Amino acid sequence: MGMVGGGIGAFIGAVHRMAAALDGEIELVCGAFSSDPEKSRLSGAQLYLPPERVYGSYEEMILKEKTLPIGERMDFVAIVTPNHMHFPPAKMALENGFDVVCDKPVTFNLTEAKELAEIVQKSGRLFALTHNYTGYPMVKEAREIVRSGRIGKVRKVVVEYPQGWLATLVEATGSKQASWRTDPTKSGAAGCIGDIGTHAENLAEYITGLQITELCADITAFVPGRKLDDDGNILLRFNNGAKGILQASQICVGEENNLNIRVYGETGGIWWHQMEPNTLELTLIDQPKQLIRTGVGQLSAAAQAHTRIPAGHPEGYLEAFANIYRNFARTLRSRLKGETPDPLYTDFPTIEDGVRGMAFIEAVVAASASNEKWYPFAK
C-alpha cells in the first residue's frame, strides 16, 4: 500500500494505517504524506519507511512507483486527504494502473464523482470507499435479515448520526480537523451532511438494499460564523415506497458518535446502535424481542466472516474499518492471481456508493434551499 495524505497531525490517516495493518495482509511501503515535502519526509521517517520511498507529492510517488518491478512497487493507493484532494490522486493512480482505496465522501462534488466512476470502469481497477460502518458484523447480519424477508417489506427507516464536537466555533481555535471540514473550499458544498450525513445515507441503503428517490431537507449552520451546515433534518422516500427520516448533527452537546438505525417492515423491525455495535435487536410481530449478539448462535455467513474474536470481547470501529481493507486486499489478491474472488470478500463500498453519496449531498443542499417540498435524488 502507498498512502496519499495522513501525515503528522492527521487523524484519519492513522486510522487507515491501523485498519490496513490489523490482519497482516497489507504493508505500507511508501507514501506522499503531505503537500509539504519536508512534512512528508518527517512523516515517513516516523513510520520507519526508507527515505527513497517517501515522496514529496502524489504525482512523484505514482510515477516513480510505476517504474519499480512488480512485487516491489505498491499494489494500491490509499487516499486519506481532505475532500478536495480525493479526485486528482485517484484519477492519476487509476490511469497509471493502480487500484485505489479512498476515504469518504469520494470527491469534492458530483461532477468529479461521475467522472471518476467512468475512469474506474475504463481502467478495470478496483476502487473501495471507506464507509467503514458497513464493516460491522451486526450491520451485515441486519442486511441479511432484511434480504431474507424475515421482517417483511420495508416500510420505514429511521437513521440518526448526532455528534456534539462542533457545538462551538472550534475551527477558530486552530483545530485542524474542524478547520478543513467547515471550509467550503476543502469540504465541498456541505459540512455535517458531507462528513457524517453520507454515512447515515450509505448505511440506510446498505442494510435495506433500497435506494432513496426523493428527499425533503432542512439544513442549518447554527454556530455564528460557520460557513457550512452543522445540522440537517431530512425526510426520505425509497424506491419500494418506504419512507424514512435521516437526522445528522454536529452541534448536539454531549453526543459522541451516536450513529443508529431502525428499519421497520410489515412483520418486524431491527435496531442497531454504533456505540453498542455487537448487539442487534430484532422484533417480530407477536414474538418477544430478540437480542442477537456477535459470535453467538447461528448467524449469517456474512456476519460470521466479519467477526474476528470470541463472543463477549468488544470489537468495534477499527475492526469494522479493517474489514473493508481485508476484503479489498483479498479481492485484489485473487485478481492478481487470476482467480475468482470469494463473494464474502467482495463486500465493500465501491465507486457507485461514492457517486450516490455525492448525489445525496448535492440533493440535500439544493432541497434545503428550494421552496419545493420534494426534491429528486439525482443519480
Q: What is the DSSP string of 133-176?
A: GGGSHHHHHHHHHHHHTTT-SEEEEEEEEE--TTSS-GGGGT-H
Contact by Cβ (8 Å): 26, 99: no
Cross-strand bridge partners of residue 102: 79, 129
According to the model, what pLDDT value does residue 379 have? 57
Q: How many helices (H) and strands (E) does the chain have?
A: 13, 14
Q: What is the mean pLDDT of residues 346-370?
A: 97
**pLDDT greater at residue 49 or residue 379:** 49
pLDDT of 271 above 70: yes
Q: What is the mean pLDDT of residues 151-177?
A: 97
Q: What is the mean pLDDT of residues 99-117?
A: 98
Contacts 24+ apart (CB under 8 A), 168-172: 168/223, 169/223, 169/224, 169/225, 169/226, 171/226, 172/225
Joined grid coordinates for residue 129 = 470507499
CA distance 269 to 281: 8
DSSP conformational letter for 108: S
Topology classification of domain 2-129 = Rossmann fold (3.40.50)
Q: What mean pLDDT is reported for the chain?
A: 96
The top-level CATH class assigned to 136-309+355-369 is alpha beta
Count Cβ atoms below 10 Å from residue 297 Cβ, excluding itself.
8
Distances (CA, A) of 321 to 75, 247, 325: 19, 23, 7
Nearest Cα neighbor of 230 from 201, 257, 195, 191 is 191
pLDDT tens digits for 304-353? Answer: 999 998 888 888 999 999 999 999 999 999 999 999 999 999 999 999 99
Nearest Cα neighbor of 300 from 138, 180, 191 is 138
Contact by Cβ (8 Å): 10, 39: no
According to the model, what pLDDT value does residue 131 have? 98
Contact by Cβ (8 Å): 175, 184: no
Contact by Cβ (8 Å): 188, 108: yes
Nearest Cα neighbor of 199 from 271, 142, 145, 247 is 247
Contact by Cβ (8 Å): 6, 80: yes
| Buried residues in 308-334 as b, exposed as e (16+ CB within 10 A) | beeeeeebebebbbbbbbbbbbbbbee
Percent of the chain as helix, strand, coil, to the nearest 5: 40, 20, 40
User: For the whole model, what pTM was predicted?
Assistant: 0.96
Domain residue ranges of the chain, discontinuous segments joined by +: 2-129, 136-309+355-369
Q: Are 2-129 and 136-309+355-369 in the same CATH fold? A: no
pLDDT tens digits for 199-251? Answer: 999 999 999 999 999 999 999 999 999 999 999 999 999 999 999 999 999 99
CA angle in degrees (0–180, nearest 5) for 204-193-110: 90
